[in-house]
Amino acid sequence: MLTVQLWSPDTCECVIHQAFDDTVPGEVTYVTREEAMAIHVARRQAKPTTTLDPKKSTQPVAQACPAHAHLGETPAKHEACMEENKRKNITLDLVIRNKLDITDDVDLKEAVKSQLARNLHLASPDDFPDMDGLADKFVAGLYKDIRWSFDTDRSLVITHTATPAEKQRLTARLSAKFPPGRVRLG
């Protein structure tokens, strides 16, 4: 059955209606406010024990941030927000992997756990009672060092502490992943 949600990316102030079928994992699509309302009403009507209250069946108005206002309430705005959000998430992951010298084909958390076990002189990550929690805190600490923003052209600007060699490696990784000018180091 279709479900409606409001999505606000952490890359801008947009608010977007999305629909997804809870039987099809990972598929999320843009819908208009009117479509969201129809899905919402259909869901409530499908539950015979639910009393349909028109005041509770409304969908909030979607919003566009200044950077995406020119796109209006369209699938293009949704696609732009999704692309920017994915680009930011992939980039932050690459910054952490680069800092720790971990390749893209290795699970980040498992690699961090192994490195922490070596640093703690443990035979295995399993020898530490809460290695998952320690790895999560370690990675969260690394994320705090990274500053990101979008410039007026919606290029992602990353600022973080890195050696010249780390910056050179990261630049190469970013160039392999994104078109020129989409991500730059500040």
What are the per-10-residue average pLDDT scores of the chain (186 residues)?
87 91 85 84 72 58 90 91 96 93 90 93 92 93 93 95 93 95 94
Interatomic CA distance for residues 160 and 146, integer angstroms: 5
**Does residue 63 sit in helix, strand or coil?**
strand
> What angle separates helix 75-100 from helix 164-177, to the nearest 10 degrees?
140
* Sheet strand arrangement including 156-159: 147-150, 156-159, 183-185
Residue 48 burial class via C-beta count within 10 angstroms: exposed 0-12, middle 13-18, buried 19 and up: exposed
Q: How far is CA 31 from the centre of its chain?
A: 20
Residue-level pLDDT at 23: 85
Q: What pTM does this model have?
A: 0.81
Q: Are the beta carbons of 18 and 1 closer than 8 angstroms?
A: no
- The domain spans of the chain are 2-70, 79-185
The β-bridge relationship of strands 16-21 and 28-30 is antiparallel
Interatomic CA distance for residues 115 and 41, integer angstroms: 51
Residue-level pLDDT at 130: 93
Q: Given its phi and psi angles, is residue 73 left (phi above 0), alpha (psi -120 to 50 degrees) or beta?
A: beta
